[in-house]
Amino acid sequence: MDDRAARISYDDATALVVVDMQNDFADPDGSLYVAGTDDIVELVNTHLQAARSGGSTVVLTQDWHPPETPHFVTGGGPWPPHCVRETWGAELHPDLGTDADLVLRKGTGGEDGYSAFTVADPTTGDTTSTGLAAYLDARAVTRVVVVGVAGDVCVRATALDAAGAGFDTEVPWDATASVDPDQGAAGARADLADAGVAVS
Ligand SMILES: [Zn+2]
């Protein structure tokens, strides 16, 4: 039993963005298992419940890649194939709460899909909005809380974009897990702090 509290106040001007809590990252049998992700599912659910109780907007993201993409080593990219659309690995962890206002799938067309706000073309680097900032603006959201995986990759990218889009942004770090829990996590935390993100 995980009795850690959410440590975050949730209200109707806040959005909780739960990043990529999918089998390929969260299950030890996943193709890109991020150690410790299975240990934060319960804490992330605590955030989901607190966000719901506080009237916050709840967004779940999924990496949602085509079978072949420049994002994968098989296409010249940095990552082993993961979260291929319509596969077990791309499904949300079975214990994760799914009461959300929006499930946002990213990387669907071969883009990198790191951030929930923008995706970049792997060859040109051109970024395209996912529409999330406008969605949150339309719901009068001014504050974004980001949790999930990986802390040093997609959580980092999502929180940096949230801050860049003008949202007050917070990352409760205990509700994340990182690919590199040492240097990678430390570097991400420093980058976020530099960007004005409150990392607690
Ligand atoms: Zn990916």
Q: What is the pLDDT of residue 1?
A: 46
> Which residue, 93, 84, 82, 98, is CA-closest to 179?
82
Which one is catalytic: 106, 112, 152, 161? Answer: 106
- Cα-to-centroid distance, 111 and ligand 1 (Å): 9
Residues bordering ligand 1, an ion, CB closer than 5 Å: 63
Distance CA 169, CA 158 (A): 10
Give the CA dihedral 177, 181, 187, 193, nearest 10 degrees.
Answer: 40
> Is the pTM here over 0.85, yes or no?
yes
Q: 148 vs 47, 140, 159, 173, CA distance in Å?
A: 11, 23, 11, 9
The domains found in the chain, sorted by start residue, are 14-199 (3.40.50.850)
Cα angle for residues 126, 198, 105 (degrees, 5° grid): 40
Q: What is the pLDDT of residue 2?
A: 58
How many other C-beta atoms can be found within 10 angstroms of the C-beta atom of residue 75? 16
Which one is catalytic: 63, 112, 154, 161? Answer: 154
> Which residue, 168, 135, 173, 180, is CA-closest to 155?
173
- Cα-to-centroid distance, 7 and ligand 1 (Å): 29
- Cα-to-centroid distance, 154 and ligand 1 (Å): 9
User: CB of 65 within 8 A of CB of 181?
Assistant: no
- Cα-to-centroid distance, 122 and ligand 1 (Å): 12
Catalytic residue flag (residue 38): no
Identify the helix (H) or strand (E) that includes residue 48: helix 37-53
Each residue's pLDDT expressed in tens, for the chain with a length of 200 residues: 456 777 889 999 999 999 999 999 999 999 999 999 999 999 999 999 999 999 999 999 999 999 999 999 999 999 999 999 999 999 999 999 999 999 999 999 888 889 999 999 877 889 999 999 999 999 999 999 999 999 999 999 999 999 999 999 999 999 999 999 999 999 999 999 999 999 99
- Cα-to-centroid distance, 178 and ligand 1 (Å): 14
Catalytic residue flag (residue 83): no
- Cα-to-centroid distance, 3 and ligand 1 (Å): 31
